[in-house]
Amino acid sequence: MTLAIFDLDNTLLQGDSDHAWGEYLVEVGAVDGAQFTRDNNRYYQAYLDGTLDIFEFLERHQLKPLARHDRVTLERWRAEFLHTKILPLIVPAARALVEKHRSQGHTLMIITATNRFITAPIAAEFGISHLIATEPEESNGRFTGKVDGVPSYREGKVTRLRSWLSEHHQDLDGSWFYSDSHNDLPLLELVDHPVAVNPDTVLASQAHARGWPMLKLR
């Protein structure tokens, strides 16, 4: 099995689904608009800078709205979010990249720090069944606002991927990983074929120094 792994935000998507979800929640009045927007932007900048405290972000910001609303309402919002906000962020070049690996018989996977509630339908839109995402904790059919297990962020992506490989009796021989972010350097360093996609400044510098290919999907 050859594994082709894709980061999601700013890689397969021409934007950040996590940040966009926060903006959408403000639009529909699900959160306190002014304060949530400030926090949304602050945490996103920390992510870009590589200084994000992932547990603080998840439990004080990203997962709180999931705990405050019932599942039916959340799923209705998510369906509209996918249609109006996410689909416009999927460019033909991203779909073509996924299909290139599918046509070669590779096993496709998305690995993302954004939580599964947001990202599962996006992975389905690409026809990708293997998804490693941050898991929001659930109890009695409702989200608790806490994270379940290890967030798939930075070194956590490596931890989660190694667990998946062990469970599926697979390895990383011949593997590919596509990402835009320096936060993904731990996983990029692990695979046989790292590719920087629309890379940020730090990742572009690292890719150039290490001779990694760089790809633009915009």
The amino acid at 189: E
Instruction: For residue 9, indicate whether it is catalytic.
Output: yes
Could you please report the per-residue DSSP string of the chain? --EEEE-IIIIISSS-HHHHHHHHHHHTTSS-HHHHHHHHHHHHHHHHHT---HHHHIIIIISHHHHHS-HHHHHHHHHHHIIIIIGGG--HHHHHHHHHHHHTTPEEEEEEEEEHHHHHHHHHHTT--EEEEEEEEEETTEEEEEEES---STHHHHHHHHHHHHHHT---TT-EEEES-GGGHHHHTTSSEEEEES--HHHHHHHHHHT--EE---
Annotated catalytic residue, options 9, 16, 180, 200: 9
Instruction: For residue 171, indicate whether it is catalytic.
Output: no
- Residues labelled as active-site residues: 7, 9
